[in-house]
Amino acid sequence: MPDTSPSMHLAVALDGAGWHPAAWREPTARPAELFTAGYWADLVAEAERGRLDLVTIEDSLGLQSPHPTQPPDTRTDQVRGRLDAVLVAARVAPLTSHIGLVPSVVVTHTEPFHIAKAIATLDYVSGGRAGVQVRVSARPDEAAHVGRRESPDPRNAAAVGELFDEAADYVEVVRRLWDSWEDDAEIRDVATGRFVDRDRLHHIDFTGRWFSVKGPSITPRPPQGQPLVAALAHGGPPHRLIGRSADLGFVTPADPAQARAVVAGIRAEQATAGRAGQPVHVLADLVVFLDATGARARARRARLDELAGGPWTSDAAVFAGTPTELADLLQEWQEAGLTGFRLRPATLPYDLEQVTRGLVPELSRRGAFRREYAAGTLRGLFGLPRPANRYATA
């Protein structure tokens, strides 16, 4: 399969009213609609109009928190509560045709058999455009919601690191379950009365430190064979998870030099895992405030900071400026070896529309981004072939 992907990949991360905690108070925000299907359908449709590769949909097992490893605070002036990301993706999938749909899933407290089935179903519903962003949780409040294990002390780096090794095994189980049905296992032969060839369904018989899963799945092999697996990483064990298990890595460098080091680290983890040479795409995350002038973008950020009670910072770099200035920055950063970028709109839908109607046309004019979709699956958008089934007989 030829790589028909553009020179730069673009994704957007959707979360509530936007990534800034005061985004819901913007004049263009739609806070009364955050828990409606139409709101999410509109956002994803706008992203598809911009010909973006994919959208990710944030999720967690606890209320939003100012820090991802800490329980939520008692503030009532910020968005709290969210819909299930997998179900949102399944709802909007039939309303779209090209864009990839990548919901977040907390793998620390969910079973791989369940998630393998859910993402395979999303791949069927979307016609081959599904992926999953695996998330690790060290938050004690999320562990308490499930009640089956205690959360490690976030200060214990080794214990937290083990959660990422567990996540790697989780992904391995999910991938084996996706392969547990061969592509031609369903016969559907009315004359002989055979719907399925039982010999083409396989027990995965996975036994490891954290999981023991027999299989096979109850859902046939997804249209893509293997939907894309993504993970967000800030360093160390998360980079190991990307190198060992993922197709897409979302990273948070502060500048091109750091981006170059991050990419090199992930490539080294790939080599250690025996995946050297395999395509693992690395996209840098950026929170974006975009406007017609840089002054307007910075003023909007300052106004939202004031509403939030002080300067807001993120785990990712924050950019405030024009779409043209952002295009300059992205092309400069891409030289560090990045595949592309996942943009986090500070406010929704305003900054998303600035991406699709301002940034994308500028990048397309420069020949740095696609002018039309050239593939029908998410794997195809990233130039990835449909993988062979590991259990298929010769």
Tell me, what's the pLDDT at 205?
97
d(CA 315, CA 253): 9
- Neighbouring CB atoms inside 10 A of 280's CB total 21
Q: What is the DSSP string of 167-216?
A: HHHHHHHHHHHHHSB-TT-EEEETTTTEEE-GGGB----EE-SS-EE---
> For the segment 148-159, what is each residue's pLDDT rounded down to a tens digit?
888 888 778 888
Tell me, what's the pLDDT at 5?
47
Q: How confident is the model at residue 4 (pLDDT cuts 50, 70, 90)?
A: very low
Tell me, what's the pLDDT at 241?
96
Q: How confident is the model at residue 109 (pLDDT cuts 50, 70, 90)?
A: very high
d(CA 310, CA 303): 10
Length of the chain: 394
Place of tokens 């998360």: 238
Q: Is the pLDDT of residue 260 over 90?
A: yes
Q: How confident is the model at residue 230 (pLDDT cuts 50, 70, 90)?
A: very high
Element (H, E) at 272: helix 256-272
Q: Is the pLDDT of residue 303 over 90?
A: yes
Tell me, what's the pLDDT at 3?
41
Calculate mean pLDDT across residues 368-391: 96
Calculate mean pLDDT across residues 352-363: 98
d(CA 8, CA 27): 32
* 364 phi/psi in degrees, rounded to 5: -65, -40
Q: Is the pLDDT of residue 1 over 60?
A: no
Calculate mean pLDDT across residues 365-394: 94
d(CA 143, CA 127): 34
Tell me, what's the pLDDT at 357?
98
d(CA 391, CA 388): 9
Beta bridge partners of 157: none
Q: Is the pLDDT of residue 301 over 60?
A: yes
Q: Is the pLDDT of residue 258 over 50?
A: yes
* Residues 6+ away with beta carbon under 8 Å from 377: 127, 128, 129, 223, 224, 386
> For the segment 71-99, what is each residue's pLDDT rounded down to a tens digit?
778 899 999 999 999 999 999 999 999 99
Q: Is the pLDDT of residue 69 over 70?
A: no
d(CA 64, CA 80): 6
The reported pTM is 0.95
Tell me, what's the pLDDT at 262?
97
Place of tokens 């089935």: 117
Tell me, what's the pLDDT at 65?
84
Tell me, what's the pLDDT at 70?
72
d(CA 281, CA 331): 16
Q: Is the pLDDT of residue 6 over 70?
A: no
Q: How confident is the model at residue 2 (pLDDT cuts 50, 70, 90)?
A: very low
> For the segment 25-62, what is each residue's pLDDT rounded down to a tens digit?
999 999 999 999 999 999 999 999 999 999 999 999 99
Q: What is the mean pLDDT of the chain?
A: 94
Q: Is the pLDDT of residue 265 over 80?
A: yes
Q: Is the pLDDT of residue 343 over 60?
A: yes
Q: Is the pLDDT of residue 68 over 80?
A: no
Calculate mean pLDDT across residues 338-349: 98
Contact criterion met (CB below 8 Å) for 134 and 171: yes
d(CA 274, CA 124): 31
Alpha carbon 326 to chain centroid, angstroms: 22
Amino acid of residue 176: R
User: In the chain, at which residue ranges do the beta strands (DSSP E only) sit?
Assistant: 9-14, 54-57, 100-106, 131-135, 186-189, 194-196, 206-207, 212-213, 228-233, 248-251, 281-290, 317-321, 340-345
Contact criterion met (CB below 8 Å) for 126 and 101: yes
